[in-house]
């Protein structure tokens, strides 16, 4: 009975840790970010260019050049310095996921 429990625990632990190993980090992904009062396009977590046009994320969220974010449900807010929107539409603050409400 003990070997069966051990095997089940080992399989569960392997599954849980594999989820962390494959999860992408915000620092490695593309996004748009408010930095020094300007919107920047980020490629692989590094500033690439200043944003010069509105960007639509995969979930329908749009981000304007001035940092205005409009979600598909109509919620609207302005990004603060250091905040970023991932290309899938998720808001990140300080490298952590944050709710879209401001």
Q: Is 31 left (phi over 0), alpha (psi -120 to 50) or beta?
A: beta
Decide: helix, strand or coil at residue 61: coil
Is 18 within 8 Å of 25 (Cβ atoms)? no
Vertex 80 angle, CA 64 and 95, to 5°: 105
The rounded distance, in Å, linking the Cα atoms of 62 and 55 is 6
Query: For residue 20, what are its two tokens?
Result: 């962390």
Is 23 within 8 Å of 11 (Cβ atoms)? no
Give the model's pLDDT for residue 22: 41
The pTM (predicted TM-score) of the whole model is 0.67
The rounded distance, in Å, linking the Cα atoms of 45 and 72 is 25
- Per residue of the chain (102 residues), give pLDDT as tens: 567 676 675 575 565 555 544 444 555 688 999 999 999 998 887 778 999 999 999 999 999 999 999 998 889 999 999 999 999 999 988 766 666 655
């Amino acid at each position: 009975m003990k070997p069966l429990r051990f095997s089940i625990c080992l399989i569960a632990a392997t599954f849980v840790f594999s989820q962390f190993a494959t999860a992408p980090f915000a620092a490695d992904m593309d996004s748009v970010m408010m930095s020094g009062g300007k919107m920047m396009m980020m490629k692989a977590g590094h500033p690439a260019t200043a944003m010069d046009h509105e960007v639509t994320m995969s979930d329908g969220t749009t981000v304007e050049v001035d940092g205005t974010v409009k979600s598909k449900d109509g919620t609207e807010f302005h990004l603060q310095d250091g905040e970023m929107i991932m290309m899938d539409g998720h808001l990140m603050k300080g490298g952590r996921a944050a709710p879209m409400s401001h």
